Amino acid sequence: MDNTTLKEKIQGLLPGAEFQENKQFITFIIPADQMHDLALKLKNEPDLAFDFLFCLSGVDMVKYMEVVYHLESTLHRHQLVLKVRMYDREHPAADTVCDIWKTADFHEREVFDLLGITFNHHPDMRRIFLDDNWKGHPLRKDYVDEVNIVEL
Amino acid sequence: MKEVINLPVKNIEEEEYHINMGPQHPSTHGVLRLVVSLQGEIVQNLKPHCGYIHRGIEKMCEKDTYPQIVHLTDRMDYLSAHINNHAVCLLVENALEIDVPERVKYIRTIVDELNRIASHELWWCSFGMDLGGLTCFFYGLRDREKILDIFEESFGSRLLHSYYTPGGLMQDIHPNFQKRVKEFIKYFRKKIKDYDDLLTGNIIMQERTKGVGILTVEDAVAYGVTGPSGRGSGFSCDVRKHHPYAMYDKVIFNEILMHEGDTFARYMVRMYEMRESMKIIEQLIDNIPAGDFSAKMKAVIKLPAGEYYQRVEAARGELGVYVISDGNKTPYRMKFRSPNFSNLSALDHISRGGKIADLVAIGGSLDYVIPDIDR
Amino acid sequence: MAFSIYDFTSFTRSIDTFLYDNLSPFWALIVEMTIIGLLVLVFYALVGLFLVYAERKVCAFMQNRIGPNRVGPYGIIQTIADLFKLLMKELVYIKNADKLLFNIAPFIVIIASFMAISAIPFAKGLHAIDFDIGVLYVIAVSSLGVVGILLAGWSSNNKYSLIGAMRSGAQIVSYELSVGLSLLTIIILAGTMQFSAIVEGQADGWFIFKGHIPAFIAFIVFLIASTAETNRGPFDLAEAESELTAGYHTEYSGIKFAFFFLAEYMNMFIVASIAATVFLGGWMPFHVGDWEGFNRIMDFIPPIFWYFGKTAFVIFMMMWFKWTFPRLRIDQLLTLEWKYLLPINLVNILVMAFIVLMGWHF
């Protein structure tokens, strides 16, 4: 499916989606509470068939926290990028997609560990790299660590 | 470092017990701790504890310039160091829309494939050793030394080279490079038959790997298992074929796919891939065009504001580099989609129901390198 | 005292008469037993030393390296240096281990192999104990070693050791069957269980040639089963380094570890001696029918060299297996024994009995 058809299809599925310009991939910004349903539809519709989540990243844009999903379809070989924004910096929360794409299990734990974004309904929401009793989330822009980070 | 294991304690039957493999263990390749829950000899489930070698590479990248970041990528999956470097260099070059000289593309492809062969050789020797055939270890390393000698002559170091830089290469290849690579190909074509004689055709090895650790193609896609491990299940994920870069769209080679999904299939995929890599090198090594070894780059590289994603085929799977740039000389956010992280997530699923000895074979066939998991 | 390298009987007889002439029978017996005990100890130590060195060199050459070559010319003093190192190591006391069993376990393993060595004939007349049920005695006594292994695994208070010991126990007990049955095949051919009689009976040809097909099959089965008995080669799951670190002897250090280590090599030696004695003619030179000249030349080499040569050949085969093959999993190991080797053995015995009855052997 080429890019224009894909763009129209996604906009048809979810009118509230905001399109973002990007040279490489079709990018949409999705409201956090509608992500899970859209993800299910994206995976299950036969002419979309996005079954390969090849990257799940968390980003700390100071005004909001963002989770970026890079999706690909192994059948049609088209790609899509979805972004979910959370404006609550203290307790950002998104819905998990690990029941749809199993690879999200570890990736969401990593995002929680390094950025503090919790994922609702995740089966095992705990840190993956750092100690269980580590304070803070290192990848945040306001993270300060006198001991471990050397500022040059 | 005191860590509390919060395992879901539902009903522990009387004969179930937990065994700790690692972080120091002869057969987890690196510092990885696996808490395996066993009933007798059968694995019930498995929880990997990563993070022993977490160095915060992504955080460091936010303070480093793009040429400096190339040096950090070496240290992620150190066995396919060149390919990691290639990812970052390609990302910068595509973002700035720079055309690198043909010579650079040829050399980068040849060196990537040599690196792939070296990485698979190390995989083979440690896989044999895990299964108990200790002689394999020495044969694999002996042949890998030949490649590392070629690298040392041209690039100055054996393991972490940082030879690629955004725009091209750090320096030109040594005059002996082509001759030595051709000699190596001739030598290795004979030796790879020895590998097959020693391990592949051995009935004991086949009994221990056939039917063990089956990963179906749907699971491979769901868990994001790419690279030879994914192709052993039938998941066609070779980035060199689907999103070609460098010279990969101009050379003829096959994507090796097997459909059984067991340890033996993953093993055979890598054995055939070594031969395919040699094929690619042979097509390119005699035709390296003369020219510059680097394009003209500004002293300070600044990517225009926006998001960029670059995918390459590392020795163990698809490496993705995702950069959000705000126009400065350092990225705002750099995320590495590491192949080993996703491959490891499938380990729990495919080792259930097998024995401890199978777990070792499965881990060897998934071929994870821990620094890439932890970054 | 008459000493002939071809026939030790006169030498041992002269010592025997000397002792019985000069001491009361009781004390003469005690002195004889002490001498034999000391000789066996010294032999044990020397052969152990040599075998460890041989293994390292053979392994190195197969792996395209050189092996020990620094300590002494060609590295021959390497094992002695290792022995000093092991003797000087701290004996780590495990807090919750069962102290008595923990300390006894290595000794049981050593005692079992001592007892087995003394029944093997090294040359004509050089035979410590010549039972008329020699083969049965050796099989019985070498199976005492499994007690030592199980005790070691249990008393270490360590999950890994326990798993290793259980695996090893299951393996050894299963493969004893195959060892016994394959030896039984040759006993049918020889008609006796006494070692010296078995060797004498091979004066006109080794049993592996005399018994042709069933004897050859029995030899192959014996090689496989005895490699498994001694926890070596493709059957070394109990000490699988890459899985359970060191299996049942993980917690041992210093001299106790040296005992386990040594006992493994000596068991290999014992098993190779039995193979050489029962299948390959013991100290009998290689004779071919009526070729007088050839037989005379073969006779020129003293029997004791024949014996050590054949044992060395079998040991080399066992080392070759270890460094070539990957290892079998525990269930594959037990399947091999119970589903393949045992039926083959039973059928083989029937075939051999049939051949002996019909007189179709050489």
- Domains for chain A: give ranges and CATH numbers: 3-89 (3.30.460.80)
Q: Do B355 and C62 touch (CB under 8 A)?
A: no
Q: Tell me, what DSSP letter sits at residue B255?
A: P
The position carrying tokens 């990848």 is A139
Q: How many residues does chain A have?
A: 152
| Helices C78-88, C25-62: inter-axial angle, 10-degree rounding | 110
Mean pLDDT of chain C: 83
Token pair for residue B131? 């299964």
Chain B contact probe: residue of C58, C163, C239, C327 with most B CBs at under 10 A: C327
Token pair for residue C95? 């807090």
pLDDT of B218-244, one tens digit each? 889 999 899 999 999 999 888 899 889
Q: Is C284 helix (H, G, I), strand (E, B) or coil?
A: coil
Query: C185, C352 in Cβ contact below 8 A?
Result: yes
pLDDT attached to residue B2: 47
From the CB coordinates, do chains C and A have 3 or more pairs under 8 Å? no
pLDDT attached to residue B1: 43
Report the amino acid identity of residue B214. Answer: I
C34 found inside a domain? no
* Confidence band for B115, pLDDT divided at 50, 70 and 90: very high
Domains of chain B: 57-374 (1.10.645.10)
Query: B212, B362 in Cβ contact below 8 A?
Result: yes
pLDDT attached to residue A9: 81
Distances, alpha carbon A41 to alpha carbons A26, A35, A51, A73, in Å: 17, 10, 11, 13
From the CB coordinates, do chains B and C have 3 or more pairs under 8 Å? yes
Instruction: Work out the percent of chain B whose per-residue pLDDT is above 70.
Output: 95
Query: B290, B242 in Cβ contact below 8 A?
Result: no
> Number of structural domains, chain C?
1
Query: C78, C71 in Cβ contact below 8 A?
Result: yes
Segment among B315-319, C56-60, C302-306 with least mean pLDDT:
C302-306
Beta-strand runs (E) in C157-200:
none
C36 found inside a domain? no
Is the pLDDT at B105 greater than 70? The verdict is yes
Is the pLDDT at B156 greater than 50? The verdict is yes
CB-facing half-sphere around the CA of C285: CA atoms within 13 A: 16
C303 found inside a domain? yes
* Confidence band for C209, pLDDT divided at 50, 70 and 90: confident
Query: B125, B141 in Cβ contact below 8 A?
Result: yes
Residues in chain A with CB shorter than 8 Å from the CB of B223 are: 102-103
pLDDT of C245-264, one tens digit each? 556 777 777 788 888 888 88
Residues in chain C with CB shorter than 8 Å from the CB of B142 are: 64
* Confidence band for B324, pLDDT divided at 50, 70 and 90: very high
Span C90-98, average pLDDT: 75
In angstroms, the CA C230 to CA C290 distance is 39
Is the pLDDT at B5 greater than 70? The verdict is no
Backbone dihedral angles phi then psi of residue B371, each to the nearest 5 degrees: -55, -25
Nearest neighbour of B139 by CB, restricted to C64, C328, C331: C64
Token pair for residue B262? 């067991």
Range of the domain at C149: 45-358
pLDDT attached to residue C240: 62
C24 found inside a domain? no
Closest chain B residue to A77, measured at CA: B242
- Which chains contact B through at least 3 pairs of Cβ atoms less than 8 Å apart? A, C
Closest-CA distance, C323 to chain B, in angstroms, reads 6
Closest-CA distance, B104 to chain A, in angstroms, reads 24
pLDDT attached to residue C242: 45
C19 found inside a domain? no
Chain B contact probe: residue of A66, A129, A132 with most B CBs at under 10 A: A129
Is the pLDDT at B6 greater than 60? The verdict is no
In angstroms, the CA A85 to CA A59 distance is 9
If one counts every other C-beta atom within 10 angstroms of the C-beta of residue A102, the result is 20
Token pair for residue B200? 């592949």
Backbone dihedral angles phi then psi of residue A54, each to the nearest 5 degrees: -95, -10
Closest-CA distance, B43 to chain C, in angstroms, reads 14
In angstroms, the CA A102 to CA B347 distance is 12
Beta strands at A79-86 and A27-30: parallel, antiparallel or unpaired: parallel
Span A48-60, average pLDDT: 88
Report the amino acid identity of residue B35. Answer: V
If one counts every other C-beta atom within 10 angstroms of the C-beta of residue A81, the result is 20
Backbone dihedral angles phi then psi of residue C268, each to the nearest 5 degrees: -60, -40
Token pair for residue B254? 């096959």
Per DSSP, the residues of B147-203 read HHHHHHHHHS-SS----EETTEESSPPPTTHHHHHHHHHHHHHHHHHHHIIIIIT-H
Segment among B49-53, B60-64, C159-163, C282-286 with least mean pLDDT:
C159-163
C134 CB contacts (<8 Å, ≥6 apart)?
C119, C193, C194, C195, C196, C198
* Confidence band for C69, pLDDT divided at 50, 70 and 90: confident
Nearest neighbour of A55 by CB, restricted to B223, B242, B320: B320
* Confidence band for A13, pLDDT divided at 50, 70 and 90: confident
Residues in chain B with CB shorter than 8 Å from the CB of A101 are: 222, 224
Token pair for residue C185? 């095949």
Closest-CA distance, B131 to chain C, in angstroms, reads 5
Is the pLDDT at C201 greater than 60? The verdict is yes
pLDDT attached to residue C134: 85
Query: A108, A126 in Cβ contact below 8 A?
Result: no
- Which chains contact A through at least 3 pairs of Cβ atoms less than 8 Å apart? B
Run of H or E including B42 = strand B42-49
C12 found inside a domain? no
In angstroms, the CA C268 to CA C297 distance is 31
Segment among A12-21, B79-88, B110-119, C349-358 with least mean pLDDT:
A12-21
How many Å is the Cα radius of gyration of chain B? Answer: 21
Nearest neighbour of A101 by CB, restricted to B59, B222, B344: B222
The torsion region of residue C72 among left (phi > 0), alpha (psi -120 to 50) and beta comes to left
Higher pLDDT, A46 or B322: B322
pLDDT of B11-23, one tens digit each? 445 567 787 887 7
Residues in chain B with CB shorter than 8 Å from the CB of C245 are: 25-26
Highest mean pLDDT among C91-95, C146-150, C281-285 belongs to: C146-150
Nearest neighbour of B357 by CB, restricted to C65, C159, C243: C243
pLDDT attached to residue B185: 92
The position carrying tokens 């299990």 is A105
Helices (H), C201-252: 207-210, 212-229, 241-244
C32 found inside a domain? no
pLDDT attached to residue B208: 87
The answer to whether ipTM exceeds 0.95 is no
Query: B30, B17 in Cβ contact below 8 A?
Result: no
pTM, two decimals, is: 0.86
C102 found inside a domain? yes
Nearest neighbour of A102 by CB, restricted to B56, B222, B335: B222
Query: B207, B240 in Cβ contact below 8 A?
Result: no
Is the pLDDT at C325 greater than 50? The verdict is yes
Q: Do B307 and A54 touch (CB under 8 A)?
A: no
In angstroms, the CA B218 to CA A51 distance is 9
A87 CB contacts (<8 Å, ≥6 apart)?
A63, A64, A65
Closest-CA distance, B352 to chain C, in angstroms, reads 17
Q: Do A103 and B3 touch (CB under 8 A)?
A: no
Instruction: Work out the percent of chain C whose per-residue pLDDT is above 70.
Output: 95
Cβ–Cβ contact B367 with A under 8 A: no
pLDDT of C288-321, one tens digit each? 767 777 778 777 778 888 888 899 999 999 999 8
The torsion region of residue C253 among left (phi > 0), alpha (psi -120 to 50) and beta comes to beta
pLDDT attached to residue C245: 53
* Confidence band for B84, pLDDT divided at 50, 70 and 90: very high
Nearest neighbour of B59 by CB, restricted to A27, A55, A139: A139
Is the pLDDT at C347 greater than 90? The verdict is yes
Residues in chain B with CB shorter than 8 Å from the CB of C160 are: 19
Beta-strand runs (E) in B206-253:
none
pLDDT attached to residue B14: 56
Nearest neighbour of A59 by CB, restricted to B54, B333, B349: B333
Q: Do B322 and A138 touch (CB under 8 A)?
A: no
Backbone dihedral angles phi then psi of residue C123, each to the nearest 5 degrees: -155, 180
* Confidence band for B114, pLDDT divided at 50, 70 and 90: very high
In angstroms, the CA B194 to CA B199 distance is 9
Residues of A with CB under 8 A from a CB of B: 22-25, 27, 51-55, 57, 59-60, 68, 70, 74, 77, 101-103, 105-107, 110, 114, 126-133, 138-139, 148-149, 152
Residues in chain A with CB shorter than 8 Å from the CB of B4 are: 132
pLDDT of B167-205, one tens digit each? 888 888 888 899 999 999 999 998 888 888 888 888 888
Backbone dihedral angles phi then psi of residue B260, each to the nearest 5 degrees: -75, -35
pLDDT attached to residue C114: 84
